[in-house]
Structure 1
């Protein structure tokens, strides 16, 4: 069922010019399921040339025509959601239900940005003299280079592609080589909708080579990246040397505060669902749990019970609710986090170990008595491990929540309107959710502050990163 993976340059599916490929592994088995082609410099230049040409066509395409084509692409993606979900599960590991939900959300995101294409409004600014007309217009910034990670093969790419196309930009997207089929399905949906050649291009290859070439290229006007903070800072610095606009959606370490008056049962259920989604490999995953000391033991007991009863296995099994980690690197990293915490005095309440020797499975894990100097309290874990610590006062919890340089997402549970208002204001985070986990919808802001990045990939703000603002002032003589 897994498709043949090729690059897409100037409206053509193609291999790399040197024929280099890398294997694609199924994380549930550790076995290869296909190959991904690797671009050479000549291929990257061809993609840039195509994007430059495609931009000249697409920027002149009326917004209403862009809207109609994008809506058609969204329907194409919906119509192939079942097949695409199987591809994503095979290459990334998440359960089929999650993979299908990601695909359908991708279609919703295209629809949202298609509508925004018709709403890139300017302004008429009242002048100081009767013979002067002042207008502000929005224009597409130009060809875009976008880099997306492996944890959401469609969701991360579709935000960048849809924003760019809605604004009138062309784009080159480089998905993760480990999970190419999801983005292949996305590109195919646009191609079958009739997108002009060169407007959307997809390449794979050595990440450092591809990013350095595209970011430095004078014909690329805008960079969008989703990934780790360390890599994001490197790419932003490179873009800065060329004065190129960037959107950066980087790492997080989302605090959770469960207050004294919270509904502990409901909080545990909702937080477990959010935490173990995609095996914890989610940038907005709740990762540092702080529970008021009066509710601490009850919360730990309930949350641990839920974690123990999660069915872990091959995501292709419809009864499975958590799949494997996406690659062996994550397996090694999670083992390292647990070992470090235990060495420093933490207690493993449940889980803590790899499952079997085939594939990259790890138990849903709950840690208690975790000291602040443990790595998991300071580095983004990106996996199914939860450190839970008690707190006694509002100020103590806020200080811990804001201690790290991350600021992507933050969560709180309380039944007090006053506490909800206070914590919403106190969190240093680009996104805050209280008593639920309603992030990442197409119509709302999606982005972080501090070391978690800059710019938005959701809501009406997202398209602004792909537009130049121009003032035209004219006098009649």
Structure 2
């Protein structure tokens, strides 16, 4: 009942007004832990999308009229509201996605941190002033907002991923149109409500919920939308980049990964195993930067594998609303079926399941799948080439640095990678040769508000977070000022 009322009180946000879809269309929201209906959400029509763009264009004029300090104060207000409502936001995320409640509340707090960071960055959009090659003249460089920004986000981090897009866009003085995944619509509504309650001008923040194949084409074809910030799969990212060419939209792409973990012979095995179990199975492995391909030096392979299996078996899988739960269900049944296909193929090819490898027998309802570790899968199998995006990790021994670097860099993904070693020399050599936008050494912490996050190759381009991210939402204007002769 909580979510049904929540959906009814919110819906689409167009020009500061919450409303239903213009044609009354709706979609069902499903609880992945029970497979029961949570309620119905609006399904935006093409007419609603066009109206949202018009509202955002008007909202952009209002945002441009605000000073940097006013934008900063608004974002700070949003961050405080998110903290105040973290328990409610976390509950919505847990109900809609199956993410354990402790992790869901943690995501809300991380979102507030991102909002705080860009509240500061709004006041640090520094231009340049320097001497011209002509005596007495000046060169000036200004950074200005680009216009209407469309933010497309998936369901795995519905609060954090959205905050990392909305915060820099609004800090820079733009307006935004949000299109979340339908699986986490209620959590997104609650986050967007924090922006309206904080006092952002009507039209500066707009929310569209519904099917991507209805919403995206209208946005991509409209020249009033200046930029797309997208987090999602490589396949959909390619389509958006292709479509952006028609109207020359700027794009930021945060796409998939298949993160390698290189565990050298001198690694602290206990520290590695403890961290790896938590990082691999956080959010049921539905994390683009999730460690997946574990390459362990042959001299410690058996010991490290046994330690990781032991830690994995100690994880508690169950009700996402339970504070003690480490691992909830996958968010969709489709995701679980994809994991099963990948593991079945690998095992059929000779790989060995060390733990897990099946649906939960103690939790017959919901999209649960046991945390799984697979040893020695073939390099040609789907599990070693396609992002699994689920609770499965692979373990493979290696003997030389050249061998493991070649294998780690073999895939077209280059988002995150991890290294475990006590040697500074190995740290430098490994990180210099790894192809990844984010590398953790003796840690799996891949992103914070103050650090840049993003990848290269098929993992996309552009960065979110850190001191340079706001530049993704600004245009550069050069002024060559020739002083007139006063005589």
Alignment counterpart, residue 336 of structure 1, candidates 311, 322, 341: 341
Q: Which residue of 1 aligns with 2:468?
A: 461
Q: How does 1:443-462 map to 2 (within 5 A)?
A: 443-462=450-469
Please say if 1:370 is aligned against 2:377.
yes
Partner Cα distance (2:315, 2:148) in 1: 45
CA-to-partner distance for each residue in 1:37-75, whole Å, 9 max, x for gaps? Answer: 011111111100100000011012000000001101110
The aligned counterpart of 2:89 is: 84
Give me the whole-angstrom Cα distance separating, in 1, the residues matched to 2:74 and 2:268.
46
1:318 to 314, 317, 323: 323
Separation in 1, partners of 2:231, 2:80:
25
For the residue of structure 1 that corresponds to 2:413, the secondary structure is: coil
Alignment partner, residue 58 of structure 2: 53
Please give the alpha-carbon distance, in whole angstroms, between the structure 1 residues aligned to 2:130 and 2:191: 40
Alpha carbons 1:261, 1:416 under 8 Å: kept:
yes
Encode CA deviations 1:251-279: one digit per residue, 9 max, x unaligned: 00000000000001111111111100000
1:258-407 alignment to 2 at 5 Å?
A: 258-356=263-361, 357-407=364-414
How far is the alpha carbon of 1:169 from its aligned partner? 0.3
Q: Is the 8 A contact 2:31 2:98 kept in 1?
A: yes
1:240 Cα deviation (Å)?
Answer: 2.0
2:255 corresponds in structure 1 to: 250
The corresponding residue for 2:225 is 220
Match of 2:75 in 1: 70
Contact 2:89 2:191 in 1 (8 A): no
Residue of structure 2 aligned with 1:426, choices 433, 451, 456: 433
What residue number does 1:470 align with?
A: 477
- What is the CA–CA distance in structure 1 between the aligned matches of 2:427 and 2:122, rounded to whole Å? 35
CA distance in 2, matches of 1:82, 1:206: 28
Distance 1:179 1:275 in 2: 22
- The 2-side partners of 1:185 and 1:111 are apart by 18
Tell me, yes or no, if the aligned pair for 1:74 and 1:110 is still in contact at 8 Å.
yes
Match of 1:415 in 2: 422
Match in the other structure for 1:184? 189
TM-score, L = length of structure 2 = 0.97
Contact 2:234 2:458 (8 Å CA) reproduced = yes
Deviation at residue 191 of structure 1 after TM alignment: 0.6
Structure 2 segments unaligned to the other structure (5+ residues): none
Q: Within 2, Cα distance between the matches of 1:93 and 1:259?
A: 35
Deviations along 1:73-131, whole A, 9 cap, x unmatched? Answer: 11011101111111110000011100000001101100000100011111012111223
What's the TM-score, normalizing by structure 1? Answer: 0.99
**Counterpart selection for 2:173 from 162, 165, 168:** 168
Deviation at 1:452, TM superposition (A): 0.1
CA distance in 1, matches of 2:187, 2:64: 27
Q: Which of the residues 38, 42, 58 maps onto 1:37? A: 42
The answer for the alignment partner of 1:235 in structure 2 is 240
- 1:146 partnered with 2:178: no
Partners of 1:210 and 1:444 lie apart in 2 by 31
Measure, in 2, the Cα distance between the counterparts of 1:240 and 1:459: 28
Whole-angstrom distance in 1 between the partners of 2:376 and 2:435: 25
Deviation per residue, 1:369-401 (Å, 9 max, x gap): 211011110000000111100000011010001
Encode CA deviations 1:269-300: one digit per residue, 9 max, x unaligned.
11111100000000000010100000100011
DSSP 3-state at the match of 1:456: coil
Could you tell me which residue of structure 2 aligns to residue 207 of structure 1? 212
CA contact (8 A) 1:123 1:135 kept: yes
Q: Is the 8 A contact 1:77 1:185 kept in 2?
A: no
For 1:92 and 1:462, the matched residues in 2 are separated by 28
Pairwise mapping of residues 88-107 of structure 1 onto structure 2 (< 5 A)? 88-107=93-112
Given that 1:406 and 1:452 are in contact with CA atoms closer than 8 Å, whether structure 2 keeps it comes out as yes
Distance 1:452 1:408 in 2: 5
